Amino acid sequence: MQRVIEVSNQIQGCLSKMAAALPSHQDAQVVYHLRAGKHQVPLNERIGKPISLEWSGAIACTHCGRATKKSFAQGYCYPCFKRLAQCDTCIMKPETCHFFLGTCREPEWGEKHCFQPHIVYLANSSGLKVGITRKTQMPTRWLDQGAIQALPILEVNTRQQSGFVEMLFKEQVSDRTNWRAMLKGEVESLDLSAERDRLLETLSDGLNQLRDLHGEDAIRALNETPSTFHYPVEVFPRKVVSHNFDKQPLVEGILQGIKGQYLILDSGVINLRKFTGYEITLT
């Protein structure tokens, strides 16, 4: 069902991660909408203005909708967290996929989501990092991380294979984002094409071993151009202070910017994705 674009002064609903989209023309800013229940609220136009988010104390599982006292894995109740394949540890560590052992929690879900092309990429959100994502999730994955640059470097056939490749690259480059550095906006641009060439040469033996194991066409080099992203931020925080609904149900201040899944307020920052399923009132 299509979401309702909300224009009134107050909305209420359970949070989903913010929708982030590329602008309609190059060098413009990423376009954000806050999603709460059926509502979708444009946020870029609110920058420089007061904003208030108040948690009601209620949390709903994003999968089954049941009330839960605690959110697991960013939005699930405990039964769903233990039952769903998308909450299994192999999602965070694809190289540990156990589908072929016959122990996948949801084989049909696994076939649909894990046995499709994945991209190994380099990104610059707080410095050089390696990451993986389904091919269909570009550029959403990069925007959610607050990356200012990104470059697909390899395409593989399955999620597990992307995990094997990522493990190899982690010998040379981090797979994590320093979210505080990302939010401060002090990240310098990198020559991602040069970094790609350097890493592919350094890791060529390991990549060839993976091709010998999975097939020559299982891991394919890409020749893409780096993408650059600009975020709607008027003022970057000099000191990053985090808001937490569990400790402070009311979060308010002047909205100074949006980057990744963070709102940047003059009173602190808040990662909305962390509070998926939390029922809030936005004014």
Q: Per residue in 199-242, pLDDT tens?
A: 999 999 999 999 999 999 999 999 999 999 999 999 999 999 99
Residue 169's alpha-carbon distances to 132, 154, 164, 196, in angstroms, are: 11, 11, 9, 11
Residue 26 is predicted with a pLDDT of 75
Q: Are 122 and 222 in contact (CB under 8 A)?
A: no
Relative orientation angle of helices 192-202 and 204-214, to the nearest 10 degrees: 70
Q: Which pLDDT band, with edges at 50, 70 and 90, does 1 fall under? A: very low
Cα(280)–Cα(118) distance, integer angstroms = 35
Q: Which residue has 């203005």 as its token pair? A: 49
Confidence of residue 2 (pLDDT cuts 50, 70, 90): very low
Q: Where are the domains of the chain?
A: 4-75+232-282, 84-115, 117-228
Residue 103 pLDDT more than 70?
yes
Break the chain down into helix, strand, coil percent, rounded to 5: 30, 30, 40
pTM of the predicted model as reported, rounded to 2 decimal places = 0.93
